[in-house]
Structure 1
Amino acid sequence: MKVEKYVCVPDATFTNFMFESQGPKGVIKKKVKYEKVDNGDGALFNLSFGDYDEITDIISDNSVSNNKDKSIILATVAGTVIDFTDHAGRVYVHAKGSTPSRTRLYQMGINAHREEIEKLFHVFGLRSNEWEKFQPGVNYDRFMVIRKKD
C-alpha cells in the first residue's frame, strides 16, 4: 500500500513484528503477532496486535492509545501481513477486532485499500457464520486473507 507506515522490525521467524507509534501521547510500543491455529493442516494463523508491554511480554489489544496515528498503525499492520506471507507462504491469516468498533475500523481500512489488497490477496469476510468473498458495504464479524498464487 502506498500510505505512510512506521518502520517495523520482524523477529527471525517473521511471526512477531515490533514498531513504535508516535504522536501526542508520546512513543508507544506496538507488537504484531502471528500465531498458528490448530485447524488440522497448519495453514491458518491468527493476527493479533496492540500496545506492547516489554516487562510482562503482553500485547494489550484493548488499549486505547489515542495517539492520532490510527491510519499509520493500520497500514503498518497491513504491511506485516505481506512480510509474514512472504516467509510463511500461502497460509490463511485471520483477524478480528477486540471490539465490534475495531472490527468495523478494520473493515473500513480494507474497503479503502481493497483494490491494492486484492492484487496480492484473496479477501474473505465472516457473516452469519459463513465465510464469503469480501464485498464492500457488507458488515463482517471477522476477516481472512490468503496470498494469491504468483
Structure 2
Amino acid sequence: MNLERYQYLNSNDYHDYEFWSEGPKGRISKMVTFSRIPNTDPAIYNLAFGVHQMRGINNPKQYAKS
C-alpha cells in the first residue's frame, strides 16, 4: 500500500500520538491515546481519540517525530 499518511509526534512510551488533520474546515490538532485498563488478564487497552492542543510543540524533548 502506498497511501498518504499524517506526520505525527509520539510520546516516549508510544501511548500518545499527536498530529494535524487538514481539511475543508482548516487545520485541527488531534490526539490518539492508548491506556491499559488495570487488573485485566489478558491485557485490555482503551483507545481515546479527539481534538487536542499540541503538547509536543511546547515540549519537544517529550515527543519524537515519526
Superposition TM-score, scaled by structure 1 size = 0.32
Q: Which runs of 5+ in 2 are unaligned?
A: 55-66
Bigger relative contact order, structure 1 or 2 (CA pairs below 8 A, ≥6 apart): 2
CA distance in structure 1 between the partners assigned to 2:5 and 2:34 by the alignment: 19
CA distance in structure 1 between the partners assigned to 2:43 and 2:19 by the alignment: 26
CA distance in structure 1 between the partners assigned to 2:2 and 2:44 by the alignment: 27
2:9 corresponds to:
9
Aligned length: 55
Superposed CA RMSD in Å reads 2.2
Higher strand share: 2
Q: Following superposition, which runs of at least 4 residues in structure 1 exceed 4 angstroms of deviation? A: none
Q: Aligned residues: percent identity?
A: 35
1:18 corresponds to:
18
* Cα shift at 1:4: 1.6
Superposition TM-score, scaled by structure 2 size = 0.67
Higher helix share: 1
* Cα shift at 1:23: 1.6
2:33 corresponds to:
33
* Cα shift at 1:39: 3.9
